[in-house]
Structure 1
């Protein structure tokens, strides 16, 4: 798998209420997206960013990281072949991503994702 970008997923009770700390104090000025349950705040100059997640919309658990892959289907096959626990199967979501959740040997849940063109 080729990793294109990694986003830290920060668990919050309320995305909109939590957002001001990251935008005002940390200076992550740009809201790339906000779907109510997840939002990404970014510094447009450096690219530094965080994702605020109140509860994943479709997966049974929340993930600690979102790993943006170049080929999510190949990554899924690779994870299965390696015997890693698939927490959420490969799914094309209504909001335009294809993704799956996998548990790392240390227990961390990762969202492996690819945006559709």
Structure 2
């Protein structure tokens, strides 16, 4: 599996309040997207970014990070081969990504995701 980027996913109560802190104070002022339950804020100078979410739209739990991979199908097959717990099935989500969630041995949940090409 080739990992292209890892973005922290931070649980928040309210996206607008979160925007004030992450975009305002931290300077992650480019709002790459906002789906009403998840938004990504990115620094225009460095590209550093963070995602904030209230509750995952289709997953049963919130991930701690989103891991962007080049081939999500191959990553899913690798997770299955290694016996890694899948907590959200491989899904093509209505907002355009293809993803699944895995649980690490320490209990943390990761969103393994690829964007359409």
Same fold, judged at TM 0.5 (above): yes
The superposition leaves residues 34-89 of structure 1 with CA deviations (integer Å, 9 ceiling, x where unpaired) of: 01100000002201111010000001111000000000000000000000000000
CA distance in 2, matches of 1:33, 1:40: 6
Mapped to 1, the partners of 2:44 and 2:6 lie a distance apart of 16
The Cα of 1:17 is off from its aligned counterpart by 1.6
TM-score where L is the length of structure 1: 0.98
- Give me the CA root mean square deviation: 0.6
Alignment of 1:73-84 (within 5 A): 73-84=73-84
Q: Which residue of 1 aligns with 2:27?
A: 27
Structure 2: gaps of 5 or more residues: none
Aligned to 2:93: 93
Q: Could you tell me the TM-score, scaled by structure 2's length?
A: 0.98
* Counterpart residue number, 1:116: 116
1:49 aligns with 2:17: no
SS of match in other structure, 2:113: strand
- Aligned residue pairs, count: 117
> Which ranges in structure 1 are unaligned for 5 or more consecutive residues?
none
Where 1:68 maps in the other structure, the secondary structure is: strand
User: Structure 1 stretches (4+) deviating beyond 2 angstroms?
Assistant: none
